[in-house]
A and B are shown apart, each in its own frame.
Chain A
Amino acid sequence: GENVEQHPSTLSVQEGDSAVIKCTYSDSASNYFPWYKQELGKRPQLIIDIRSNVGEKKDQRIAVTLNKTAKHFSLHITETQPEDSAVYFCAASILFGNEKLTFGTGTRLTIIP
């Protein structure tokens, strides 16, 4: 089955700086890669996703890049703000396949004011 690894497990950045979280996946058939943000005690919420037919997607301060050859994808947050502090999870699944999301272990991001 799919295995998703996520790094780093914790990340602290100064407010205004950029943050990068990286994930690798094992199943070359995976073609859908969402990122979820989970604030303390709250539900995971989708913040951005990417499909395997594109290499990069951007939404305001958030961007995701995908390298299918290396089976690697990353989340980039620019101009970080205190409200970006949360746990971020990457995931991988196969659209039109088993639809099962396999999550990474999470990155606790702390923005230092």
Chain B
Amino acid sequence: EAGVVQSPRYKIIEKKQPVAFWCNPISGHNTLYWYLQNLGQGPELLIRYENEEAVDDSQLPKDRFSAERLKGVDSTLKIQPAELGDSAVYLCASSSGLAFNEQFFGPGTRLTVL
């Protein structure tokens, strides 16, 4: 079974530029999460989807961040414009939504904003 796939793995951009990250969850997983992980810290939830519906986006900085999960499968997270402080690893995770609740993480996208 393929795991959670993310691309790109690395991205370097200049500040004020836009950037987008893509995630393909494990097949059949209805719940998808985007996390932000700063160096030396634990992941912090940005947004959670149940199918195509964003059910928790309270931690998403909506002035510059946006996300979508059209058709309830793949998801895209966008930052526009990027700031220096956005440099971090962006992790995508998925779960089946059943009681067990194990979240499977992707390899992440390491963003560097210059």
Contact = CB atoms under 8 A, between A and B. Distances in A.
Interface stretch (B19-27, B36-44, B65-73, B79-87): B36-44
Contact of B40 (A95, A102, A103, A106): A106
A100 interface: yes
B101 A100 contact: no
Contact of A95 (B33, B101, B104, B106): B101
A46 B102 contact: yes
Contacts of B101: 32, 93, 95, 99
Determine the main DSSP class of B at the interface with A. Answer: loop
Given A44-B91, A99-B31, A99-B48, A89 B42 contact: yes
A31 to B, nearest CB: 10
A91 to B, nearest CB: 7
Contacts of B103: 34, 46, 101
Contacts of B91: 43-44
Residue with the highest number of chain B CB atoms closer than 10 Å, among A46, A98, A99, A104: A99
Interface residues of A, number: 25
A44 B44 contact: no
Contacts of A42: 107
A45 interface: yes
B34 interface: no
Given A44-B91, A93-B101, A103 B43 contact: yes
B45 interface: yes
Nearest to B9: A41
Residue with the highest number of chain A CB atoms closer than 10 Å, among B43, B99, B104, B106: B43
A96 B100 CA distance: 10
B56 A98 contact: yes
Contacts of A99: 31, 48, 95, 101
Interface of B: 4, 31, 33, 40-45, 48, 56, 91, 95, 99, 101-108
11 contacts: A34-B102, A43-B105, A89-B42, A89-B43, A98-B56, A99-B48, A99-B95, A101-B33, A101-B43, A101-B45, A104-B42
